[in-house]
Structure 1
Amino acid sequence: MFDFNLQFARGGANVTVELFELLTAGGVKQNIVFSPFSIQTCAALAFAGASGETADQIAEGLKFASNFHPEVAETFQHVFEKYKDSELLKIANKVYVQEGQQFKPDYEVALKESYNAEAENLNFAESESAAAAINSWVEDKTAGQIKDLVSASAINELTRLVLLNALHFKGSWAHKFDEEQTAEDDFWVSEEESIKLPYMNQKAKFGYGFFEELNCQALEMPYNNSDLSMLVLLPNEREGLKSLAEKLKSVNLVDLAGNLDYSEDVVVQFPKFKVEFEVELTETLKKLGISKIFSEEAEFNNMLQSPEGLQVSNVFHKAVIEVNEEGTEAAAATAMIMMTRCMLMPLQFTADRPFFYAIWNKRNILFAGAFVNAPTA
């Protein structure tokens, strides 16, 4: 039997790499964090009311497991159900609709039953109060981590719908770092330039891999009482992140999970950091082949009972991540590779140069990003 959930996970891994490449066009010059799953989920709320080429572009561009609405809904529902009682991960969806507008019955059912999405009327003509209501919901669902996602200027009397996804993750490490062991050391922002950063230090059994074809080491640090973990891909060279991003297009991150070894202690030196990132995704989505949603030809005729046409005006995405000795807090509101081992010394993983990271369950990637420099905030 075809495994749509695995197909969706592999698609999510591919879209993570594609989004990473697009969001770091011109080189990875700034810290970045984003949630591919949040972006996919928000788009799925639109997909549920789309038809024709519009629906096909969303499904293909964001690597859904299918372009058949029930199958797509089932793959998202699988993830929602998996974490519905999780203390670490909270997922929330909401659709605000202009006062006086009515959903088509099938779309209303899909929102509620397939995407666990609340619906609420709002008067978008009162843009200040509408934006305040939207931002308040996002802030509440992300435990205060994501503020001011949308501006009043993005909303007006022509606005009919605002589709929202919010993710909040807060997990403690299965192997916590001792704060007394945290110490400053060099972080190499380029081949010859370094800055001082606080590093967490410990020795414990972590998932470890050395991927020759990617020219990087991999470390997986699990979170307590969960199937979620942080995967870190560390280039072997100080300026190797751009090359790693290119090489990642030739593999699927899901396949890396089976090539990590958990049997040996690893000496880990990992920086403490907090990163915030925001982006308007219209041009990014167009580069993924999702263009029709932004045009007057957009086919969103399955959403509202009103005969007026709908199109997307903006897609905002904002994410934040903080990593410390206790664990990680993150929020957002949008080929076989063999392992080689040739070390007799204790395995060392020193993240003293720009690296790629993801928070995942070895399938679905909830957050991804790169740490390349000291945060300016």
Structure 2
Amino acid sequence: MFSIIVLLSIGVQNLHCSSVPPEISRLNFFDTDLLRYLAENKKGNVLVSPASVKSTLSMILEGASGATEEEIRSALRLSPYKFEFREQLNIYLKALNVNTTGVVLQNANAIFVSKTQKIKKDYEQILRQVYYADIKTVDFSYSNNASDAINQWVNQQTKGLIPNIVQPSDINPQSESVIANALYFRGSWKRGFNPRHTRPACFHVDKGCLKVAMMELHHDLNYAFVENLRAHALELPYEGNRYSMFLLVPQEKTGLNTLLRDLPYMSLPQITPFMENTNVRLFMPKFSIDYSESMVGALRSMRVTSLFSKNASLPGMFENQTSEVNDIMHKVHMSVDEVGTVAAAVSVAVVIPLIEDGIQLQVDRPFVFFIRDNELEITLFEGKIEEPSVYVETAVLVVAVGLSSARWLRKQRSDESKEACFVGKATYELSTTMLQGYLDDDTNIAFSPLGYSAILAILAEGATGKTRNELISALHLPEDQNLTRKTYKDILERLKYRNEYKHNQPELKNFFYIYKNYTINEDYKKILEDYYLTDVRSIERQSSIEDFNSEENEPEIKEEAAPKTEEVSDLIQPEESNEQLFSYAVKDIPEKVYKPAKNIKEQIKLVKTTEDKKDIGDEEETMVAVEARNHARSLQVLNQKKDIASSISVNSVGDKSSKSVNSLMLIFNGMYFRGSWKKAFDKIEPGLFYKSSSEKKQVPMMKSRGNFLTGSLPDLDSEAILLPYDGDRYALILLVPRSRDGLVRLVADLPDTTLAEIQESLREEELEVSVPTFYVETTTKPVTTLAKFGVSSIFGHEAELSGISSKEGLFVQELVQNVAVRVDNTDASAASISASNVVGDIEAVESELKSLPLVETEGPRRFCVERPFVFYIIDRLEGLVVVTGKIIDPELQNDV
């Protein structure tokens, strides 16, 4: 038994062309045949190294005779005289070892011989002198040791790109030898792609669109349109010009099979003379691909058959007669990015996409590629690319570490709350719907999708019929009601109790208030208390809003049971000297931040001074919000200086059979989120923020230099950056449009992208980051917007809420939420500036910017959030959107 392993690793470069010896030119016919037979009628990528396969077959040919020798020699187009074909191969093999500026090409051969077998001296001499092969003795009866020896050699010769080629199960104890060839190739582009221009794009495949990282290059390149192939041909040279990558891109998106069929009649050596220097704007995906395939099928199609049968004739190799070759294994690894190409193979091929000249060629469809030695016209690698994989930069170790951490987080989530993903999906979709509801609003917006979803889930527990179905569909609730309850309980328990993330403790608590003389079903009450950790209370209130204007009347709370001290303390935070209360002015978009009210009566007066509406329904709605907020304030849900976000969601349940607008019940929650950055920003300096393409202002900019997770989002025409809070569980994600007026388009396109896709697009990169400090407080009333979310019947006379109370005709009158978000660098010891310092001379800042050098110095890329953007505060562990919003004009709340 005889086994052969071929290993290849590549990098790319180009040299000036010269005349090609005919004995080398004849070898190239094998290349086209090999690609055609490997790719014919096969789906997916095909990567092969003809140079590696030819080296292996040549070493076998040295010991072959009879039909076996004739078949191999004919396939390789070699001379029938061994001294002549050795001369051919000597020229060929010398060309496979190059080490120059920008290019490294190394070819290595080895034969692993069984300790029970003896290699013939003449054959050993040829392998050493002509093929420069290593000859190693192994014991194939110990498959683990044998595979380790082979894989160590492979790993060394391919610089770690292919750590193994065989498994112990691949080793036959009866094997006599394994012949291996490794080809390593690393090259740098002569004209590199600018990484800043790389962005996600669509690559068309049979099943639709595959997202890839598309590089961009605008330069003079050799190009031709090949009419006979109906394809674009383009050359990408490596440093030195000896090595190049050639792309053949079909004109039609489905034209790859036709191109492969016609390629033998119009091969690469026939195409290159027609290529001319042309100004080309190229879009080409970067990728990293691993490919492995047995060469036996393709070689049989090329009429190399006896080698793999009992009729194999290999008398020149060993003292004892060898039976047959059972396999030729071929494996290739190739990475292509903005800098160049790195490849490794065990019988593998490499592919790279490209784009058109003049009339811009977009490599957004399956294509064929070649990596070639232009001086001798030797094809090192070739293949077809149907599905370029998403590229991962192997040079950045931290990226791998980050991905490992993410997997750990996902594992933790699956262990604790396996199905919690439906809550995360609902919070993101709800955030998108809400943002689109304020699409044309030109002010800052902030709200808590998690707060809204918790209240809607509570309502779903008491809903029936169409109302329940709408809530189940919108919130993606599973059919198993117990699973829904367990999931929300897991989430709310983590948000209620303090955990190991000491500096970042989002806390969410639900309240259900029933006004005197009304009751709720005991089963419903128990579900709320047990699974939604809801504080259910009975309260008294005055019959009309005018009663609150009286000095002697104050609202009274009568609780069914006095709250436990430890429950109330859950939302009590440590006091600070600069402690501030929220100003709960109930407006759709607050224009001013007011000093906090001392009690509910004063709060209502404050509201009445800011509202022009006199409708009784609006007054009742205002009273509902204020009343609930006052209760939350009594639990000290405070906007302290270090708060990240705090929200109050209020839901008023009324009676549709009554003419009174007074609500019967209040459902609301309070959310508190306070934290500090994982890495504080280095400094705060004045900077420009463009509210639009024509309006700008000066704002405090937090600045820092370091490694950040960032990514391009071409479908949203924007960039994303993730800023983690201490503990890594919670993070702030900013989506920044590429244009200063691009926010409307960004929000409009959000439904086409998921939060998971945004996070998966992020890669670690060293950046100089500038982010404006901001504070936003907003009251939202999303009844109209929720109709687009699929929730509408609960707000009308057709509402079915019989599970809440035996009283007929209940419906939800209003849903109101107040959210405040603060993003600053309070915890940092870095130098900062006061608000008065910020309102400086804009012209001075612009003058400083203009004085910067026109040519960028070496350093990390700048990521400057200088235009309106979307933000998310997320729980990375559960995939939840805690708070989201958009910032048109970053402002900070002044201390009161």
TM-score range, shorter chain: 0.7 to 0.9
Shift of 1:112: 0.6
Distance 1:34 1:310 in 2: 26
Look up the equivalent residue of 2:698 and give its one-letter code. Answer: K
**1:314 aligned counterpart, secondary structure:** strand
Alignment counterpart, residue 370 of structure 1, candidates 853, 862, 886: 886
**1:182 aligned counterpart, secondary structure:** strand
Change (3 A) 1:160 1:6: same
Change (3 A) 1:10 1:307: closer
Alignment counterpart, residue 451 of structure 2, candidates 23, 38, 44: 38
Look up the equivalent residue of 1:18 and give its one-letter code. Answer: T
8 Å Cα contact 1:92-1:141 kept in structure 2: no
Change (3 A) 1:253 1:237: same
Distance 1:49 1:296 in 2: 16
Residue of structure 1 in register with 2:433 after alignment: 18
Distance 2:509 2:860 in 1: 43
Asked whether 1:311 is paired with 2:811, we answer yes
Q: What does 1:12-91 align with in structure 2 at a 5 Å threshold?
A: 12-22=427-437, 24-26=438-440, 28-61=441-474, 63-66=475-478, 69-83=481-495, 84-86=497-499, 87=502, 88-91=505-508
Asked whether 1:278 is paired with 2:779, we answer yes
8 Å Cα contact 1:203-1:267 kept in structure 2: yes
Residue of structure 2 in register with 1:338 after alignment: none
The CA deviation string for residues 89-115 of structure 1, in whole angstroms up to 9 with x for no partner, is 111001001223332122011101110
Q: What does 1:204-215 align with in structure 2 at a 5 Å threshold?
A: 204-215=706-717
The range that moved more, 66-75 or 209-218, is 66-75
Residue of structure 2 in register with 1:144 after alignment: 638
8 Å Cα contact 1:203-1:265 kept in structure 2: yes
Asked whether 1:301 is paired with 2:802, we answer yes
Change (3 A) 1:326 1:359: same
8 Å Cα contact 1:65-1:75 kept in structure 2: no
**1:15 aligned counterpart, secondary structure:** helix
Alignment counterpart, residue 791 of structure 2, candidates 290, 304, 309: 290
Distance 2:679 2:716 in 1: 27
Shift of 1:345: 4.7
Q: What does 1:1-377 align with in structure 2 at a 5 Å threshold?
A: 4-22=419-437, 24-26=438-440, 28-61=441-474, 63-66=475-478, 69-83=481-495, 84-86=497-499, 87=502, 88-126=505-543, 128=548, 129=555, 134-140=628-634, 143-145=637-639, 158-178=662-682, 181-262=683-764, 264-304=765-805, 306-326=806-826, 345-362=859-876, 363-375=879-891
The CA deviation string for residues 120-166 of structure 1, in whole angstroms up to 9 with x for no partner, is 101244454275653222224563237998799x9978422100111
Change (3 A) 1:310 1:125: farther
8 Å Cα contact 1:89-1:169 kept in structure 2: yes
The range that moved more, 81-90 or 199-208, is 81-90
The range that moved more, 313-322 or 248-257, is 248-257
Look up the equivalent residue of 1:25 and give its one-letter code. Answer: L
Q: Which has the larger radius of gyration?
A: 2
Distance 2:793 2:452 in 1: 17
The range that moved more, 36-45 or 97-106, is 97-106
Change (3 A) 1:240 1:148: closer
Distance 1:34 1:349 in 2: 26
Distance 1:121 1:11 in 2: 31
Shift of 1:191: 1.3
Residue of structure 2 in register with 1:341 after alignment: none
Change (3 A) 1:67 1:30: farther
Change (3 A) 1:148 1:58: closer
**1:242 aligned counterpart, secondary structure:** helix
Distance 1:228 1:347 in 2: 25
Change (3 A) 1:272 1:158: closer
Change (3 A) 1:56 1:160: same
Shift of 1:228: 0.3
8 Å Cα contact 1:60-1:67 kept in structure 2: no
Shift of 1:313: 0.9
Shift of 1:119: 0.7
Look up the equivalent residue of 1:314 and give its one-letter code. Answer: E
Distance 2:819 2:827 in 1: 17
Distance 2:651 2:485 in 1: 30
The CA deviation string for residues 277-312 of structure 1, in whole angstroms up to 9 with x for no partner, is 1122222222323221122221111112x4332111
Distance 1:203 1:134 in 2: 43
Shift of 1:318: 1.0
The CA deviation string for residues 5-55 of structure 1, in whole angstroms up to 9 with x for no partner, is 123312321221111111x232x5111111111111111221111111111
Residue of structure 1 in register with 2:115 after alignment: none
Distance 1:82 1:259 in 2: 28
**1:274 aligned counterpart, secondary structure:** strand
**1:165 aligned counterpart, secondary structure:** strand
8 Å Cα contact 1:9-1:254 kept in structure 2: no
8 Å Cα contact 1:31-1:375 kept in structure 2: no
Look up the equivalent residue of 1:17 and give its one-letter code. Answer: T
Structure 1 gaps of 5+ residues are 329-343
The range that moved more, 315-324 or 283-292, is 283-292
Look up the equivalent residue of 1:360 and give its one-letter code. Answer: I
Q: TM-score, normalized by length of structure 1?
A: 0.85
Change (3 A) 1:43 1:97: same
**1:48 aligned counterpart, secondary structure:** helix
Distance 1:367 1:355 in 2: 14
Distance 2:861 2:774 in 1: 23
**1:95 aligned counterpart, secondary structure:** strand
Higher relative contact order (CA 8 A, sep 6+): 1
**1:163 aligned counterpart, secondary structure:** strand
Look up the equivalent residue of 1:112 and give its one-letter code. Answer: E
Residue of structure 1 in register with 2:302 after alignment: none
Shift of 1:58: 1.9
Shift of 1:206: 1.9
Change (3 A) 1:150 1:21: closer
Question: What fraction of aligned residue pairs are identical, expressed as a percent?
Answer: 21
Distance 2:649 2:425 in 1: 29
Shift of 1:252: 0.6
Shift of 1:177: 1.9
Change (3 A) 1:20 1:237: same
The range that moved more, 66-75 or 118-127, is 66-75
Look up the equivalent residue of 1:237 and give its one-letter code. Answer: S
The CA deviation string for residues 58-94 of structure 1, in whole angstroms up to 9 with x for no partner, is 2223x33336543332332232133332452111001
Change (3 A) 1:7 1:151: closer
Q: TM-score, normalized by length of structure 2?
A: 0.37
Give the count of matched residue pairs.
355
Structure 2 gaps of 5+ residues are 1-413, 549-554, 557-622, 640-645, 829-857
Distance 1:3 1:243 in 2: 35
Shift of 1:245: 1.1
